[in-house]
Structures are given as C-alpha cells and as structure tokens.
Amino acid sequence: MQDKVVVIHQPDFMPYLGFFDRLLKADIYVVLDTVQFVKRWTGRDKIKTENGEQWITVETKKAPVETKINQIYLVEDTKWKKKHLNIICYNYKKAPFYSEIIPYVEKIYQDSSEKLSDFNLRSIRTLMELFDIHIECIMASDINPVGKNNTLNIDIMKKLDCRRYLSGVGAKDYYVAELYEEAGIEVIWQDFEHPIYRQQYGEFIPYLSSIDLLFNCGIEESRKILRRIQ
C-alpha cells in the first residue's frame, strides 16, 4: 500500500477552515458523494452578519430521505443564488478585502451545474485555489465504494491502495479501531485549533464558512493563517 494520506469527506458547501486544514495535510481528497444527503451538513454554511451568524442554504429539489448526494438536484429557479449574493455582499461590503474576494464568490454562483455535488465542489475548488491547496480529488462515485462508516472508509482506502487515513474527530463516534488494524490502515486524527483573526461586527465567531476569513484578511494573509505561519 502507498503511504499517501487520504481525506474522505462529503462535498459540503463553502466549508469552514477545519476542512481545508485537513486538505493541507493530505495527498488525496475523496469526494464522498455516494452517501445519504443531509441538508444541515452538506447544503449550507454560515457567514457573519451585523446581527450575528446566519445560515445560507443551497436550495435543492425535494427527494426521498435515502437519496445520495450525487442524486440531489438544485432548484432551477436561480433567485436563491441572487439572494445569497445579496446577503453576502451586504454583510461583507465593508470588509477590508471585499473587492479582492467577491469576484471569486460571484464565479461560484455563476456555475451552471444541475447537481448539488457539482455546485458544492465548485465552491470547494475555488476555495482551494484561494488557499493555494493542490491535491488530487477523486469522486467516490467513480470508484463505487461499498459499506457504511468504517467499512466504507476501509473499502475506499483499499481501492486507492493507500494506508494512511486522515479523519476528522467527529468520526470517533463510530470508530472501530480493530477494523482498520485488520485492514492495515493507519488512522490519523485531525488536531485542529480554530485560528482567531480580525473580524467585522464585534466578538469573534469561529466555524463560519471560509469566505469570512478571506473577506476579512485577504488571500495572502489567509493562506498564512490557515498554515499557522506568523
């Protein structure tokens, strides 16, 4: 097996900084588009407003509960995209690096994808570009993984012939060490401490979409902050 580090995660919408912290430490990102769609995780994220944090949610067509992420379709009416942009523009127009970042955000919303997974991946790739992260991205749907939770992760790792899996700490809720040991896979747990940076609107709020850092600190400084470079 190869020693490449693999991250396996759903294609969330404009993810928070912890997601990109993992990508910085990995060689391969497996876009987990074959699991059940859960809107509160995959279809939305938070920004900061003058009234505190606010969710912005991607509008999708109704689908059965068990529908996989790669089978979720966006609402065809693009009014929700205009609404998102208006909310973002209104709340970040006075941010120090608004003019530098807003063209990238606008390009995300100009994406003509029909599926949520493609639209979200566009947001991820845009943020990867801004953070200067360059790793291989593989769609789970292209390798047809089987199993659930631990067994799903292990099957993906075997199909990639990789032995080092970098996991977020949330997976500890269902982690079974013996399964990975038997498969010869090393599990590396993410150790992420959210950075504090200058922000608009009073007291600092963590775990927002990564665009908050970019609007407030700009591309160059954001790259340093994410990498803990002083």
Which pLDDT belongs to residue 39?
84
DSSP, res 37: P
Are the C-beta atoms of 29 and 7 separated by less than 8 Å?
yes
pLDDT exceeds 80 at position 230: no
Q: Give CA–CA dist 42/15, Å, rounded.
A: 9
Q: Give CA–CA dist 215/193, Å, rounded.
A: 20
Nearest to 108 by CA among 95, 91, 121, 117: 121
List, for residues 117-126, the tens digit of each pLDDT value: 999 999 999 9
Q: pLDDT tier at 48 (50, 70, 90 boundaries)?
A: very high
Task: Using CB atoms within 10 Å of the CB of residue 4, give its burial: 0 to 12 exposed, 13 to 18 middle, 19+ buried.
Answer: middle
Nearest to 110 by CA among 74, 81, 84: 81
Which pLDDT belongs to residue 206?
97
pLDDT exceeds 90 at position 94: yes
Q: pLDDT tier at 229 (50, 70, 90 boundaries)?
A: confident
Percent residues over pLDDT 70 in the chain: 100
pLDDT exceeds 90 at position 188: yes
Q: pLDDT tier at 197 (50, 70, 90 boundaries)?
A: very high
Q: Give CA–CA dist 126/149, Å, rounded.
A: 28
Q: Where are the beta strands (DSSP E) in the chain?
A: 2-9, 28-31, 44-49, 52-57, 136-139, 162-167, 186-189
Q: Give this prediction's pTM.
A: 0.95
